[in-house]
Amino acid sequence: MTDPTQPAAAVPPAAVHLRDGENGTPVTETLYEQIGGHATFRKLVHEFYIGVTDDPVLKPMYPEEDLGPAEERLTLFLEQYWGGPGTYSAQRGHPRLRLRHQPFKVNPDARDRWLAHMRHAVDTLALSPLHDATLWDYLERAAFAMVNTFDD
C-alpha cells in the first residue's frame, strides 16, 4: 500500500524513437514491418487508386494521365512515414503535404471521397484491430489537414 503523504516516485517519460536519426536505421520494429512492409503498402495504395480512377472529383486532381506516378509517390511517402525506407525524402525532399496540395481545391467533399476510397483500401488489408486503428487515425487526420477551402 502506498503512503499518500509521500511523493510519488518520478516516472521517466517514455521515449520512442523509430529511427536512430533523420532517415536513419529503424531501432524498433516499425508499423511498416509489423503489417507486412512494401507488399502491404503497395496493395493499400493500389486499391486506393482503383477508386480514384473513376471518381469525378478526385481524378482531375492528378495531373498525369496515368495514375502510376501518383501511386508510386503515395506508396513511398506512406512507407517512409511508417518506418520503411527513406526513399520518398531521398527523391523528393521534405513531404510538404499542404504545400503540394495547395494548387488543388481540397474541400470537405474531396476529403470525404478520399477517405471513402482509402477506407475501402484499408479494409482490403484485413489488419489487426490495433494496426487498422493506428493507420486509420493517421489517414483521417491527414485528410482533414489537407482541406484548404470550403467552397464547392
- Bridge partners of 26? 19
The alpha carbon of residue 39 and the mean position of all alpha carbons in its chain are separated, in whole angstroms, by: 15
Q: Nine-digit cell at 10?
A: 518520478
Q: Nine-digit cell at 69?
A: 506516378
Q: Nine-digit cell at 105?
A: 481545391
pLDDT tens, residue by residue, 53-102: 999 999 999 877 778 999 999 999 999 999 999 998 888 888 777 767 77
Its sign, for the CA torsion 119, 64, 57, 144, is: positive
Q: pTM score, two decimals?
A: 0.78
